[in-house]
Amino acid sequence: MLTTTIDLDAIAHNTRTLRAQTQAQLMCVVKADAYNHGVERCVPVMEANGADAFGVATFAEARRVRALTGKPVLAWLWDPAEQIPEGVDVGVPSLEHLRALIDVPSAPTIYLKVDTGMHRSGIDEQRWQEAFELALVAQKQGRCEVAGLMTHLSCADDPSDPYTDQQATAFRRAIAQARQVGLRVERNHAANSAATWTRPDLHFDMVRPGLSLYGLEPVVGLDHGLRPAMTWSAPVVTVKPMRAGEATSYARTWQAPEDGFSAVIPVGYADGVQRSWQGALEVEIGGRSYPQVGRVSMDQVVIWLGANEAGVAPGDTAVLFGDATALAARAGTINYEVVCAPRGRTTRTYIGEGK
C-alpha cells in the first residue's frame, strides 16, 4: 500500500521553532490541504503550538479550515463572483475584487494585497491611492474592516538578490500611503518562510510561513533544525534477476550494467511520481539506497538492486522520500512540488501526538 506518513510531532516542533523566530504574529499557511499533509490533523497541532492565524488560497479551503479553529483564517485567491464565506478574512488582489467585496452584506475583514514587484496578483502602485480611498469609504460605511496590507516576495529564497530590498521599500511606501489616506493598517505582512528566517526586518506585524511548517528549508544550504514531517513509502512487489544488457520498462531506455536484480515498486505518475524524476529518484530499503531505472510508468517504477547483497524481498518497505529537499535537488525541482506530489492510490497515516 502506498502511504504518506505524517509526523505530527515534527509539525509541532516546526511550528514552535517558527514561533520562536519572530515577535510578530504567526500566520500558518495551510493551503493545498496543508501542503498535502492534511489540514484536519495539522491545523489543531499548529494552533496548539503557537499559530495566531491561518492562511489559505481559496474560499473552499477557508471553509474547511474555519471548521477546525477559532483563529482568523485568511483566503486570497478568489473570483469576484464567488460568495464570501462568513467569518473568513479576505485578501483583496485588485480594485475589481474590492468593489465586489464591499457590496456584500457580511462586512468582512480584509487585507489589501499590493503588488510590490511580483507582477502576479496585487493592486498595482498607480492604483493604490484609489484603492485605499475606496476602502476607507467602505470601512466608514461599515461594509468592511481593513486590517492591513499584504504583499508577496519574489526572490526571498535567494538572500543575495537585492530585489527583495526593492520590494520591501515599495511595501513600506504602500503602508505609509495607506495611513496617509486614513487607514490604520495595523496588521501588515510580507514574509514567507524564506523571509521569516533571513529577513527579520521584513516581519512587520505578521509573518506568513508555509513550507517550513512541514520541516523543509526554503533557502538551499540553511539549517534551522526543522524536521521533515512527510515520508512516502510503498511495498516491494517483485524482485527478479536480470542479465547484463537486458532492458526494463518502456522504450528500453536502460539496460542492466551487469548481472543482478531489479525490483518493482507499485507507484507511478498516476500516484505523483513525475516522469521528470526519472533517473533522479532513489529508493531506500532497509537503510540502503537504490536507484530508480528506466521509464516511470502509470502504476510502477523499477529499481536496480545490483547483486542484492541485502536480500531485498517482496513485502519490504521502500521509502520513496523522507527528505523532499534531497529528491528535489536531484530532480531539478523544488521541495514544495515534491511534498505536494503524492496522490492517487496513496493513503495518509499519522504518527506522534503533535507535542
Amino acid of residue 211: L
Q: What is the phi-psi region of residue 340: left when phi exceeds 0, alpha when psi lies from -120 to 50, beta otherwise? A: alpha
Q: Is 250 a catalytic residue?
A: yes
Grid cell in block for residue 123? 493592486
With both helix axes pointing from N to C terminus, report the angle between 39-48 and 59-66 in degrees, rounded to the nearest 10: 60
Q: Which residues contact 248 (CB under 8 A, 6 or more apart)?
A: 242, 254, 256, 262, 293, 294, 302
Q: What is the DSSP letter of 70?
A: S
What's the distance, CA 346 to chain centroid?
A: 19
Residue 244's Cβ-side half-sphere holds a number of Cα atoms within 13 Å equal to: 4
Catalytically annotated residue among 140, 240, 250, 355: 250
Catalytically annotated residue among 31, 214, 290, 350: 31
Q: Is 355 a catalytic residue?
A: no
Active-site amino acid positions: 31, 250
